[in-house]
């Protein structure tokens, strides 16, 4: 293990989140088993009081979970000078076999935690805890994934040895390599991928705007926003990074968070993750529009979520377009890097 | 109007100092009437009143207000009900020292966002009705006991609640002021408000304006409602 302040911060955040989630899930299971709002028994009243504590606690824990993704990336980037061969977070994450699995789980948990926060917010607007069982059911699903993430993250940091020779991002995300997901994405042709990105984004934004004005097609928008999230991630590797680095062969999705590139990666990822969480929130909430205690606010809130998602995706696209337009790199039709 | 079903309240549950203040209380409180909760100290009057007024939650049981169950409501909804439905008059006036009578009276209405000019007019009208309009600019520490009590009554009415809750209101008043207080209660009744008072003062529970007397002892209702 490398004793570095950022490593300690990551581990502390992971253990706090893991511990709190375990505590919350213990009461969450009781709520799932015994909750009956019609009942005036002592246990029911205890659960009603307890859910305030649990949902407040989880709001902070899941808020921390959202931040922990960026802290994790920041840490990986920060530790780069300690490993031979590492040029950015991509190399640091490759120092042992737990780095990338932890990152994948963090991304997955970011989305789930965001959705839980959306459900919790809506549940708190109703006078009769309308989504209480749904949100604790989601918690019961999220908790094991967060615990696995905590274990993997611990293994990643505890297994870290300073004398490890790792791969640089140029190797991990190279279109010339034949194996690896990063290389496969990097080898996607830039021009066609650009068309895919802009066409899919146009469809997503139009669908979102249509839903905002007509209240129709919410599920489709949620699906498109999830699809757009993956297309955007692939696009970052495939062609967006090329324009930011102004290098036709450098596809790394991590170097863009470095100071040399004005930390633009953080902004891109924040916009992207915000957009997918609010977009998926639309689909998650639509089934509850008829709940009596939520009728007054829910439709309006779902539309606001859709609008937020559309704005975030539009801002992401604008930023990407700005980078492409102002970049010195020109990718011709004939040559595909 | 207010229905209590199997209401229990236990303090320090699970500790050696556990104390059961209310035991399975079932009670109906009628609207537009004056109800007095009568009983010795420690009988559970104030506990019951605080549960009815949404100031505390029972350990078990439910309370319905106009048919709507309120004990399960999340805190933000309870705050809203407390603010708009109940006016509280406590044993002590509980006025805030250092600010004027008028400011004290207007204070509970601030969260509702009413225009200050209208609020001031309403507060002054309330103070005039209880004959303390001339004290509106005075600091509360300059008031006599009776004036402070009346100021606290005007404060309880500032949001125009339809239920007035008074906890031992005459405990610190002399006989003359106690009679004056009951006259004010009679006025509330004539205006169609529901009044719930806890008291072990005969001047209160034997008053002709009282419609129901509920006797409490050891956290339980004694006999039938009078």
DSSP B111: G
**Quick count: other Cβ atoms within 10 Å of Cβ A12?**
11
By CB atoms closer than 10 A (0-12, 13-18, 19+), residue A254 is buried
Q: Is B89 helix (H, G, I), strand (E, B) or coil?
A: strand
> A228 and A201 in contact (C-beta within 8 Å)?
yes
Q: What distance in Å separates the CA atoms of residue A154 and residue A18, rounded to the nearest whole number?
A: 11
Return the structure tokens found at B112: 């509702």
Indicate the residue of B59, B74, B76 with minimum beta-carbon distance to A45. Answer: B59
Interface membership of B64 toward A (CB under 8 Å): no
Using a 10 angstrom Cβ sphere, with 0-12 exposed, 13-18 middle and 19 or more buried, the burial of residue A65 is: buried
**pLDDT per residue of chain A (337 residues) written in tens, 0 to 9:** 788 899 999 999 999 999 999 999 999 999 999 998 888 888 898 898 889 889 999 999 999 999 999 999 999 999 988 888 888 888 889 888 899 999 999 999 999 999 999 999 999 999 889 999 999 999 999 999 999 999 999 999 998 887 778 877 777 776 665 567 766 776 777 788 999 999 999 999 999 999 999 999 999 999 999 999 999 999 999 899 999 998 888 888 999 998 889 999 999 999 999 999 999 999 999 999 999 989 889 999 999 999 999 999 999 999 999 999 998 887 765 444 4
Q: Do A48 and B61 touch (CB under 8 A)?
A: no
Chain centre to alpha carbon of residue A144: 17
Q: In what order do the strands lie in the sheet with B163-167?
A: B86-89, B163-167, B194-199, B34-38, B212-217, B220-221
Are A229 and A276 spatial neighbours (Cβ–Cβ below 8 Å)? Answer: yes
Pairwise CA distance, residues A232 & A269, whole Å: 10
Amino acid B226: pLDDT: 43
What residues contact residue A191 under an 8 Å CB cut-off, 6+ apart?
Answer: A239, A331, A333, A336
Q: Which of A210, A205, A213, A221 is nearest to A285 (CA)?
A: A221
For residue A163, report the phi and psi dihedrals to the nearest 5 degrees. -95, 15
Distance from CA of B19 to the nearest CA of A (A): 15
Chain A 155-194, residues with CB within 8 Å of chain B CB atoms: none
The string of pLDDT tens digits covering residues B44-85 is 999 999 999 988 999 999 999 988 889 888 888 888 888 889
- The confidence score (pLDDT) of residue B134 equals 92
Closest residue by Cα to residue B212 from B45, B86, B75, B38: B38
On whether any CB of chain B is under 8 Å from the CB of A129, the answer is: yes
Provide the whole-model pTM: 0.84
A30 — contact with chain B (CB < 8 Å)?
Answer: no
Smallest Cβ–Cβ distance between A124 and the set B59, B60, B74 belongs to B74
Q: Which phi and psi angles does B36 have, rounded to 5°?
A: -115, 130
- Distance separating alpha carbons of residues B130 and B132, to the nearest angstrom: 6
Contact criterion met (CB < 8 Å) for A127 and B62: no
Cα separation of B189 and B183, whole Å?
10
3-state secondary structure chain A: CCCCHHHHHHHHHHHHHHHHHHHHHHHHHHHHHHCCCCCCCHHHHHHHHHHHHHHHHHHHHHHHHHHHHHHHHHHHHHCHHHCECCCCHHHHCCCCCCHHHHHHHHHHHHHHHHHHHHHHHHHHHCCCCCCHHHHHHHHHHHHHHHHHHHHHHHHHHHHCCCCCECCCHHHHCCCCCCCCHHHHHHCCCHHHHHHHHHHHHHHHHHHHHHHHHHCCCHHHHHHHHHHHHHHHHHHHHHHHHHHHHCCCCCCCCCHHHCHHHCCHHHHHHHHHHHHHHHHHHHHHHHHHCCCHHHHHHHHHHHHHHHHHHHHHHHHHHHHHHHHHHHCCCCCCCCCCC
Domains of chain B, each with CATH number or no CATH = 2-215 (3.40.50.300)
What three-state secondary structure class fits B39?
A: coil
B60 and A40 within 8 Å at the Cβ level: the answer is yes
Q: How far apart are CA A41 and CA B6, in angstroms?
A: 9
ipTM of the modeled complex:
0.74
CB B60 to CB A129 under 8 A?
no
Contact B133/A at CB under 8 A: no
The answer on pLDDT for B221 being more than 70 is yes
* Nearest of A54, A147, A114 to residue A273 by alpha carbon: A114
Count other Cβ atoms within 10 Å, centred on residue B121: 11
Nearest to A40 among B6, B75, B76 (CB): B6
- What residues does each domain of chain A span? 1-167, 169-331
- Angle B99-B104-B109 (CA atoms, 0-180°, nearest 5)? 135
* Mutation site for A-interface testing, chosen from B13, B14, B18, B60 by largest number of A Cβ within 10 Å: B60
Chain A CB contacts of B5 below 8 Å: 40
Q: How far apart are CA B27 and CA B6, in angstroms?
A: 9
Q: Is the CB of A52 less than 8 angstroms away from the CB of B75? A: yes
Interface check for B141 against chain A (CB to CB < 8 A): the answer is: no
- Strand ranges, E, within chain B: 2-11, 19-29, 34-38, 60-65, 68-69, 86-89, 163-167, 194-199, 212-217, 220-221
Contacts of A296 (CB under 8 A, 6+ apart): none
CA dist., res. A238 & res. A30, Å (int): 47
Q: Which distant-in-sequence residues (6+ apart) come within 8 Å of B114 by Cβ?
A: none
Question: Cβ of B8 under 8 Å from any chain A Cβ?
Answer: yes
Which 3 state secondary structure label does DSSP give B174?
Answer: coil
By CB atoms closer than 10 A (0-12, 13-18, 19+), residue B175 is exposed
Work out the angle between the directed axes of helices A5-34 and A132-159 (0-180°, nearest 10): 150
Query: How far apart are alpha carbons B176 and A289 in whole angstroms?
Result: 59
Q: Name the β-bridge partners of B7.
A: B25
Chain A CB contacts of B62 under 8 Å are 40
Beta bridge partners of B88: B165
Q: Do B77 and A127 touch (CB under 8 A)?
A: yes
């Amino acid at each position: 293990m490398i004793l570095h302040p950022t490593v300690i911060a990551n581990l502390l955040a992971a253990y706090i989140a893991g511990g709190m989630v375990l505590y919350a899930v213990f009461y969450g299971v009781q709520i799932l088993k015994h909750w009956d709002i019609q009942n005036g028994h002592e246990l029911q009243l205890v659960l009603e009081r307890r859910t305030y504590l649990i949902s407040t606690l989880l709001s902070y824990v899941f808020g921390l979970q959202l931040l922990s993704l960026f802290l994790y990336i920041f840490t990986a980037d920060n530790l780069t000078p300690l490993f031979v061969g590492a040029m950015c977070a991509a190399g640091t994450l490759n120092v042992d076999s737990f780095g990338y699995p932890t990152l994948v789980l963090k991304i997955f948990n970011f989305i789930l935690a965001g959705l839980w926060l959306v459900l919790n917010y809506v549940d708190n607007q109703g006078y009769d805890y309308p989504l209480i069982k749904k949100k604790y059911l989601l918690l019961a699903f999220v908790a094991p994934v967060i615990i696995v993430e905590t274990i993997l993250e611990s293994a990643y940091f505890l297994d870290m040895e300073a004398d490890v020779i790792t791969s640089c991002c140029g190797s991990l995300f190279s279109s010339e390599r034949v194996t690896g997901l990063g290389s496969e994405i990097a080898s996607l042709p830039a021009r066609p991928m650009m068309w895919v990105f802009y066409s899919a984004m146009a469809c997503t934004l139009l669908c979102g705007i249509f839903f905002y004005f007509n209240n129709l097609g919410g599920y489709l928008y949620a699906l498109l926003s999830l699809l757009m999230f993956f297309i955007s991630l692939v696009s970052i590797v495939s062609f967006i990074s090329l324009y930011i680095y102004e290098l036709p062969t450098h596809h790394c999705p991590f170097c863009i968070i470095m100071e040399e590139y004005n930390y633009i990666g953080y902004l891109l990822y924040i916009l992207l993750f915000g957009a997918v969480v609010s977009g998926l929130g639309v689909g998650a909430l639509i089934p509850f529009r008829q709940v009596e205690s939520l009728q007054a606010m829910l439709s309006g809130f779902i539309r606001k979520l859709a609008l937020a998602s559309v704005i975030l995706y539009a801002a992401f696209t604008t930023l990407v377009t700005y980078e492409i337009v102002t970049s010195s790199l020109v990718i011709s039709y004939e040559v595909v890097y | 109007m207010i229905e209590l079903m199997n209401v229990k309240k236990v303090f320090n549950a699970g500790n050696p100092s556990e104390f059961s203040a209310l035991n399975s209380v079932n009670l109906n409180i009628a609207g537009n009437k004056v109800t007095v909760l009568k009983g010795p100290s420690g009988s559970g009057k104030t506990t019951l009143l605080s549960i009815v007024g949404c100031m505390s939650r029972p350990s078990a049981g439910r309370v319905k207000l106009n048919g709507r169950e309120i004990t399960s409501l999340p805190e933000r909804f309870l705050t809203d009900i407390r603010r708009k439905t109940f006016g509280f008059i406590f044993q002590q006036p509980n006025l805030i020292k250092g600010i004027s009578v008028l400011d004290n009276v207007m204070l509970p209405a601030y969260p509702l966002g009413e225009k200050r000019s209208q609020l001031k007019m309403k507060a002054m009208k309330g103070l005039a009705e209880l004959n303390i309009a001339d004290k509106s600019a005075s600091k509360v520490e300059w008031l006599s006991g009776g004036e402070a009590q009346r100021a606290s009554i005007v404060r309880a009415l500032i949001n125009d609640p339809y239920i007035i809750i008074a906890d031992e209101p005459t405990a610190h008043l002399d006989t003359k002021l106690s009679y004056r207080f009951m006259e004010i209660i009679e006025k509330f009744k004539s205006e169609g408000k529901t009044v719930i008072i806890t008291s072990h003062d005969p001047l209160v529970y034997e008053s002709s304006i009282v419609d129901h007397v509920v006797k409490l002892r050891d956290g339980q209702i004694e006999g039938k409602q009078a």
